């Protein structure tokens, strides 16, 4: 992507320039005014801020849903596991950067007929508005962006913000469909393709209808109408994703997770539970493990065996070594098969809310793999990942915002829970296969790795890495058959658990949808508990950002137990 470098520059500058001011800016000296703005430059800035919002949601949402490890120092409970200042950047990106630029672009674009610019900008604003609601609950919208006229905007009800976002999507669709306006220069998502932006808008309307299904009596009819219209993201060519490049310096254009794990520092821990979903959760009738076809793409192991080190390398909390016989009793209450401390076969992460100190294990931890971070494919080489950014896909990964596989899972959930016209089982299978196909396509990032000749550890024959380790059609069919058999054998609640677990696995790299899904459904059923029992109430929404509460006279900090408007799920998330 030729403009991703410029996008990243703007993203970094935008966040750092506004670190203590947000909604209450009377005049932002960094904002672009309509008088001197270029529409294409504004659009580039909007994309950078939008990407910053998606990226900014990852740390909290992936940690709370066990994709990554939530590891606040010396903390083992929910109420102290996160702090208001953690959310300043995402708030600033939205209210000081994205929204003013979108409004400016709409003013310019509508006046001179730049339909693609205007429609795409409205879609990104709509997605950002729903993300803010999904994370924080009630947030400012109707009074935001009024400068000195309203310096302390009130928070709108989340349902009203969702309605405003839905209206923006409708406006965008009307603007984009059939337009003959010029394309956008520097559109890093869809290269100025108006039809693809319109397809995204319709898909986001489906996503919103499903997210709100617990409080929306019309959700089934809305979803059926959207699906029957037939213009949804259902092919990888339509996927809404941010694409990263491989440049290390001036500017760094690589995937943020690659920067985290493949440079010279250790990076964070991946979640033991999420890795276990691919490594050991599925067992057939003969006690054989059904390995997920995406496993070697998702994670890269730095060690072959995670159970052979000394007491200095572990931070298990209850034991000095990762002794599975000493697993906490409350783990067994959820699922006796859940791992404790580390997993077999070299998968080294951390348990949920483990506040232990950090041991010298940076060269032992499992790191982000080829998908989606552009890291290394796991070919059993077990090399150290911290190689100054010179290995794997060199960071040319993606942020998977809305993929075709996600849409199939949405439709599966809707069919099962709302009785929509889709066949839930067919949608489940389509989602799994689309996800696996997408992940395997990342082999193109590392052709030298894939073609390297090695000895097959099973047959002893010499063959390519690709032939030995990349799943075959037969491998994929075996996995899909296992999942569908489990779905067929389950009752309705169990069928929902199968769908949501497979959706969660496919979401790797997207935390906000994982968090939304968990709150809406309470699935997967066997979500790993916190390391210590009795962690207090589960976090149903994040703290409001510190800057907003400190600077806005009408803002008051909220409780972490406060549920967003669409979350009426009565499930007691004990852990």
CA 118 to chain CA centroid, Å, is 26
CB 488: neighbour CB atoms within 10 A?
10
CB 463 within 8 A of CB 454: yes
Percent of the chain with pLDDT over 70: 93
Do 265 and 198 share a domain, yes or no? no
Q: Which two three-digit tokens encode residue 378?
A: 């796991």
Q: How confident is the model at residue 210 (pLDDT cuts 50, 70, 90)?
A: very high
User: 115-136 and 194-211 helices cross at what angle (nearest 10)?
Assistant: 20
Residue 249 lies in a domain: no
Q: How confident is the model at residue 473 (pLDDT cuts 50, 70, 90)?
A: very high
CATH number of the domain encompassing residue 45: 1.25.40.390
CA 458 to chain CA centroid, Å, is 36
For tokens 């109430």, name the residue. 537
Do 63 and 107 share a domain, yes or no? yes
Residue 245 lies in a domain: no
Do 330 and 226 share a domain, yes or no? no
Q: How confident is the model at residue 38 (pLDDT cuts 50, 70, 90)?
A: confident
User: What confidence tens digit (pLDDT) does each residue in 105-146 have?
Assistant: 999 999 999 999 999 999 999 999 999 999 999 999 999 998
Residue 449 lies in a domain: yes
Question: Does the pLDDT value for residue 24 go beyond 60?
Answer: no
Question: Does the pLDDT value for residue 321 go beyond 90?
Answer: yes
Percent of the chain with pLDDT over 90: 90
CB 265 within 8 A of CB 251: no
- Predicted confidence at residue 570, as pLDDT, reads 85
CB 346: neighbour CB atoms within 10 A?
22
Pairwise CA distance, residues 156 & 162, whole Å: 10
DSSP state of 248: -
Question: Does the pLDDT value for residue 78 go beyond 70?
Answer: yes
Residue 237 lies in a domain: no
Interval 525-549 mean pLDDT: 96
User: What confidence tens digit (pLDDT) does each residue in 90-103 have?
Assistant: 999 999 999 999 99
**Between the CA of residue 205 and those of 165, 481, 488, what are the distances in Å?**
9, 31, 30
Do 124 and 204 share a domain, yes or no? yes
The sign of the dihedral angle between the CA atoms of 470, 472, 476, 478 is negative
Pairwise CA distance, residues 463 & 469, whole Å: 10
Residue 265 lies in a domain: yes
CB 340 within 8 A of CB 327: yes
**Alpha-carbon torsion angle 112, 113, 119, 124, nearest 10:** -20
CB 506 within 8 A of CB 435: yes
Do 223 and 329 share a domain, yes or no? no
Do 208 and 284 share a domain, yes or no? no
Q: Which two three-digit tokens encode residue 443?
A: 């082999």
357: left (phi over 0), alpha (psi -120 to 50) or beta: beta
Do 415 and 283 share a domain, yes or no? yes
CB 537 within 8 A of CB 560: yes
DSSP characters for 40-101? HHHHHHHHHHHHHHHHHHHHHHHHHTTSB----TT--SSTTS--GGGGHHHHHIIIIIIHHH
Backbone angles phi, psi at 64, to 5 degrees: -70, -25
The greatest distance separating any two alpha carbons of the chain, rounded to the nearest whole angstrom, comes to 75
Interval 537-542 mean pLDDT: 96
Question: Does the pLDDT value for residue 19 go beyond 90?
Answer: no
Do 219 and 261 share a domain, yes or no? no
Provide the domain limits for residue 130. Answer: 4-70+78-232+540-551
- Predicted confidence at residue 571, as pLDDT, reads 74
Q: Count up the domains in the chain and report the number.
A: 2
Residue 534 lies in a domain: no
Do 119 and 202 share a domain, yes or no? yes
**Between the CA of residue 315 and those of 63, 68, 69, what are the distances in Å?**
18, 16, 13
Interval 147-163 mean pLDDT: 95
Using a CB cutoff of 8 Å and minimum separation of 24, what contacts does 153-156 make? 153/23, 153/552, 153/554, 154/554, 155/554, 155/555
Residue 267 lies in a domain: yes
Residue 568 lies in a domain: no
Residue 464 belongs to what H/E stretch?
Answer: strand 462-464
Pairwise CA distance, residues 348 & 88, whole Å: 31
CB 456 within 8 A of CB 262: no
Do 149 and 264 share a domain, yes or no? no
Give bridge partners of residue 431 from the DSSP assignment: none
Give bridge partners of residue 35 from the DSSP assignment: none
Question: Does the pLDDT value for residue 32 go beyond 50?
Answer: no
Question: Does the pLDDT value for residue 35 go beyond 80?
Answer: no
- Predicted confidence at residue 37, as pLDDT, reads 56
The whole-model pTM stands at 0.93
**Which residue in 121, 44, 51 sits closest to 90, CA to CA?**
51
Residues contacting 37, CB < 8 A, separation 6+: 104, 105, 108
Do 295 and 222 share a domain, yes or no? no
CB 116 within 8 A of CB 57: no
Do 295 and 195 share a domain, yes or no? no
**Which residue in 218, 116, 221 sits closest to 176, CA to CA?**
116
User: What confidence tens digit (pLDDT) does each residue in 342-364 have?
Assistant: 999 999 999 999 999 999 999 99
């Amino acid at each position: 992507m030729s403009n991703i470098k410029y996008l990243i520059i703007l993203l970094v500058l935008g966040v750092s320039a506004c670190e203590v001011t947000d909604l209450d800016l009377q005049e932002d000296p960094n904002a672009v005014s309509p008088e001197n703005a270029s529409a294409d430059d504004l659009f580039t800035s909007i994309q950078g801020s939008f990407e910053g919002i998606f990226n900014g949601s990852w740390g909290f949402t992936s940690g709370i849903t066990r994709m990554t490890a939530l590891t606040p120092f010396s903390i083992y409970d929910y109420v102290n596991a996160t702090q208001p200042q953690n959310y300043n950047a995402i708030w600033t990106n939205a209210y000081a950067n994205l929204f003013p630029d979108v409004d400016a672009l709409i003013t310019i674009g509508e006046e001179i007929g730049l339909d693609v610019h205007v429609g795409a900008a409205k879609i990104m604003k709509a997605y950002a508005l729903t993300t803010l609601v999904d994370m924080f609950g009630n947030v400012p919208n109707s009074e935001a962006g009024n400068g000195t006229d309203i310096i302390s905007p009130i928070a709108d009800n989340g349902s009203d913000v969702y309605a405003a976002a839905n209206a923006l999507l409708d406006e965008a669709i009307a603007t984009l469909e059939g337009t003959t306006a010029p394309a956008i220069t520097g559109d890093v998502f869809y290269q100025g393709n108006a039809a693809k932006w319109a397809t995204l808008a319709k898909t986001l309307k489906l996503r919103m209808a499903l997210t709100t299904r617990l409080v929306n009596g019309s959700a089934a009819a809305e979803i059926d109408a959207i699906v029957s219209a037939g213009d949804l993201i259902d092919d990888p060519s339509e996927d809404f994703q941010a694409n990263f490049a491989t440049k290390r310096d001036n500017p760094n254009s690589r995937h943020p997770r690659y920067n985290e794990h493949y440079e010279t520092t250790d990076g964070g821990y991946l979640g033991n539970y999420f890795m276990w979903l691919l490594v050991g959760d599925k067992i057939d009738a003969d006690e054989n493990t059904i390995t997920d076809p995406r496993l070697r793409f998702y994670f890269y192991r730095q060690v072959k065996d995670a159970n052979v080190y000394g007491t200095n390398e572990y931070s298990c909390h209850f034991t000095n070594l990762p002794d599975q016989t000493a697993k906490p009793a409350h783990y067994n209450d959820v699922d006796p098969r859940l791992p404790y401390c580390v997993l077999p076969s070299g998968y080294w992460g951390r348990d949920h809310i483990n506040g232990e100190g950090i041991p010298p294990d940076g060269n032992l931890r499992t790191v982000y793999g080829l998908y989606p971070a552009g890291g290394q494919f796991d070919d059993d080489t077990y090399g150290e990942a911290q190689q100054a950014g010179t290995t794997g896909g060199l960071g040319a990964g993606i942020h998977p915002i809305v993929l075709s596989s996600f849409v199939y899972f949405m439709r599966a959930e809707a069919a099962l829970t709302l009785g929509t016209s889709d066949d839930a089982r067919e949608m489940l299978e389509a989602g799994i296969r689309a996800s696996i196909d997408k992940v395997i396509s990342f082999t193109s990032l590392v052709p030298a790795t894939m073609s390297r000749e090695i000895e097959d550890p099973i047959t002893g024959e010499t063959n390519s890495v690709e032939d030995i380790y990349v799943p075959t059609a037969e491998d994929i069919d075996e996995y899909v058959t296992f999942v569908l058999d489990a779905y067929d054998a389950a009752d309705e609640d169990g069928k929902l658990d199968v769908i949501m677990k497979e959706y969660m696995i496919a979401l790797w790299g997207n935390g906000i949808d994982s968090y939304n899904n968990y709150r809406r459904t309470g699935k997967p059923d066997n979500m790993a508990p916190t390391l210590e029992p009795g962690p207090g109430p589960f976090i149903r929404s994040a703290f409001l950002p510190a800057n907003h509460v400190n600077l806005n006279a009408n803002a008051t900090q909220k409780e972490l137990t406060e549920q967003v408007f669409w979350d009426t799920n009565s499930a007691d998330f004990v852990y």
